[in-house]
Structures are given as C-alpha cells and as structure tokens.
Structure 1
Amino acid sequence: MATAITEGIKISLEASYQKEFSNPNMHHFVFTYKVTIQNCNPFTVQLLRRRWEIHDAAESLKLVEGEGVVGQQPVLEPGNSHTYLSGCTIKSGMGKMKGYFYVEKLNDGKMLTVTIPEFQLIANIFNN
C-alpha cells in the first residue's frame, strides 16, 4: 500500500492485477486500484479535480485529467474519508501511477494540491 499526507490530506492506494480481464498475448493488462482520501484537517474540503500520470514500460507517459473521482466531487468534513475503486489498462505487465488531487478548503476557497503517491502496476501473470 502506498500512502502520503499533503496539506493534511492522507491518500492511501492499493492496486490489484485483474488476470481474468487481461490478455497478455494481446498486450492488454487490466488493473484496479482502491483509493482512500482522508481529511486530517480541522476544516472541511471538497475534492474538485484529479490528474493521473500513468507510466507504462511499453509506452510513454499517459495523462488523465478531469473533474472529481468516478463521477463524484466528495466533501470531506474533518476526520472523514472517502474510498473509491477505479481501474486502468496498460500494454505491458509493468507500470506505475501517481498524480494529484485538487481540493478546495470550503471555509475560505483556498485551493490545495494533494500528492497521490506513486504505486506500482505489476501483472503477476504466473500466479493462478
């Protein structure tokens, strides 16, 4: 599990290779990842945007940017957390992801840039 705390926001991630949805012969490797965002601050924040960097050993960098996470822009009161599951595909069995969440402090409108820690995408193609 990868974990980082930036601006009082704790991000924890765990990735899993999805063998049943992958096809190594066609260079198609599917991964899911579980993200938990916890607000450790004494103020409420709202996640507005995300920016992912997906590094694939077989390709160059792919950037994915957009509003919220899986169609939501969660509001996190002090001490609360939000967990979601998402996924990605890469062409090789090895890669990594990292990025940023952009959150707003709801008490004063200040924007915070929160680091999404780097985590590995490794296909365990030899395991049953």
Structure 2
Amino acid sequence: MEKMISQTTKGVKVTVKTEYEGNFFKTKKVSYAFSYTITIENVSDHYVQVKGRFWEIYDSLNSAKVVHGEGVVGEQPIIEPGSKYTYSSGCVLNSPLGGMKGFYEVMNMSTNRFFNVEIPSFKLSAPFVLN
C-alpha cells in the first residue's frame, strides 16, 4: 500500500511516497525492503540547489542508523522556481516496522546561503503489521 506525506520549509516542499516491496532472506535472516519516492518542489522565487542530505533510519529491532552525504542519488540538483525534482530510493530493515526522518542541505542560489529543508517523518511498515 502506498502512503504519501508532504511538508514545506522556506519555500521548498518535500513530498514522500512509500511502498513495501517485500521480504527476502539474507544471511539466514529475513529482511524487509521498502522504496520511497521523493519530490522536491521549489515554491519560492529563487533558484535552489540540493547540496546534501541527512537521514535517521529507524528499525524497530535495531538502533537508529544515520546517513549523511552529498546531494541525492549522486546528484546535486538545481531546482528553478515553480519546478520539481523527483527521485526514488529505498532501504532494507531487519524488521517489518520502521521509519525515516531527516533534512536536505539546500543553498539559495540568489544569496549563496544554506538552509535545512525538513523531510517529513514517515513510517515504513509491511501491510501485515497493520492487522
């Protein structure tokens, strides 16, 4: 089942869609795969560039994992006013229930100033967990 959530920070709207992809065995343990598609929409009057990302990934069976890196999916997209940038990625958890939250490090290209754009917290849950 697909779920969608949005949040806007300083003229940049982030929308997340998640989907459960199934489970598989890895080193004799079951793992759960999830995908997410993120749309970053520039609703401001300035060009912006996504320079980095910071994620906290939660798994109900493990402690949080932190991921911090440059850009998104190997790119540092420049998004003009009124435009969108969409990408897809995923993660694998050791349990059927978890979540993610974080932010993008974004530069306002008019001022060369950086600001953080919140990524709305979202749950990752296999459909059978909700029963």
TM-score by length of 1: 0.93
Of the candidates 69, 76, 81, which is equivalent to residue 78 of structure 1? 81
Alpha-carbon distance between aligned partners in 1 of 2:128 and 2:75, rounded to the nearest angstrom = 33
Q: Does 2:72 correspond to 1:69?
A: yes
Alpha-carbon distance between aligned partners in 2 of 1:29 and 1:82, rounded to the nearest angstrom = 27
Of the candidates 9, 12, 29, which is equivalent to residue 9 of structure 1? 12
Describe the superposition over 1:88-112 as per-residue Cα deviations: whole angstroms up to 9, x where unpaired. 0110000010100010011110101
Of the candidates 47, 50, 62, which is equivalent to residue 47 of structure 1? 50
State the partner residue of 2:104.
101
For the residue of structure 2 that corresponds to 1:61, the secondary structure is strand
Deviation at 1:2? 1.1
Deviation at 1:23? 2.1
Deviation at 1:63? 0.5
Indicate the percent of aligned positions where both proteins have the same amino acid.
39
For the residue of structure 1 that corresponds to 2:63, the secondary structure is coil
TM-score by length of 2: 0.90
Deviation at 1:75? 0.2
5+ residue gaps, structure 2, are none
5+ residue gaps, structure 1, are none
Alpha-carbon distance between aligned partners in 2 of 1:125 and 1:63, rounded to the nearest angstrom = 27
State the partner residue of 1:23.
24
Deviation at 1:58? 0.3
Q: Which amino acid aligns with 2:104?
A: F
Alpha-carbon distance between aligned partners in 2 of 1:27 and 1:57, rounded to the nearest angstrom = 14
Structure (1 or 2) with the greater strand fraction: 2
Deviation at 1:27? 2.9
Q: Does 2:117 correspond to 1:114?
A: yes
Alpha-carbon distance between aligned partners in 2 of 1:52 and 1:105, rounded to the nearest angstrom = 21
Deviation at 1:125? 4.5
Deviation >3 Å, runs of 4+: none
